[in-house]
């Protein structure tokens, strides 16, 4: 029994540390990376994360790719008249020097299109992010229900 308890402490302790500390990549730090769950045969979903830049030069998120989607883009939400629309950021998403950008529901997001599989809560998928200066990094992103993001919204 004691060993089982220790095992759970290790597993949950480890995942908490991974979430809280984020992933350090050169001058960047990536936190709270998650993908929105989908119903079966749904074609698209969103990916969300926080990117911190601890350096004194700006960087730009210029690309995203994932093998579970035929096409992946970086999107912004914009008001067009009184309609909220999303569109790809052709020049990428600037992460200011000594600043941070939060991709979250209703705002900037990663857009995964032509999904090859359903996004099921707690599944972990690898997603490659490409930055203009820092290069590419592949990170694990866990699938969560939509309500997950609300905890982190302002
Ligand atoms: Cu979108």
Q: Which two tokens stand for residue 87?
A: 């569109």
- Residue 40 pLDDT > 90: yes
What is the average pLDDT across 41-50? 97
The alpha carbon of 46 and the centre of ligand 1 are apart by a number of angstroms equal to 7
Using alpha carbons only, give the angle 114, 118, 70 rounded to the nearest 5 degrees.
Answer: 20
Q: How confident is the model at residue 13 (pLDDT cuts 50, 70, 90)?
A: very low
The alpha carbon of 110 and the centre of ligand 1 are apart by a number of angstroms equal to 7
Which residue would you say has higher pLDDT here, 103 or 15?
Answer: 103
- Residue 88 pLDDT > 50: yes
Considering only CA atoms, which of 34, 40, 42 is closest in space to residue 15? Answer: 34
The alpha carbon of 109 and the centre of ligand 1 are apart by a number of angstroms equal to 6
The CATH code belonging to domain 24-146 is 2.60.40.1890
Contact present, 149 and 34 (Cβ < 8 Å): yes
Output the average pLDDT for the chain.
87
């Amino acid at each position: 029994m004691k060993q089982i308890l220790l095992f759970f402490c290790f597993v949950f302790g480890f995942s908490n540390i991974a979430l809280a500390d984020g992933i350090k990549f050169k001058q960047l730090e990536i936190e709270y990376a998650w993908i929105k769950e989908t119903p079966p045969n749904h074609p698209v979903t969103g990916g969300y994360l926080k990117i911190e830049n601890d350096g004194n030069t700006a960087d730009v998120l210029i690309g995203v790719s994932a093998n579970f989607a035929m096409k992946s883009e970086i999107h912004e939400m914009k008001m067009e008249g009184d309609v909220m629309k999303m569109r790809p950021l052709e020049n990428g998403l600037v992460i200011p020097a000594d600043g941070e950008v939060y991709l979250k529901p209703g705002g900037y997001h990663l857009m995964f299109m032509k999904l090859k599989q359903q996004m099921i809560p707690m599944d972990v998928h690898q997603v490659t992010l490409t930055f203009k200066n820092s290069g590419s990094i592949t990170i694990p992103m866990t699938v969560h229900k939509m309500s997950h993001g609300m905890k982190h919204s302002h």
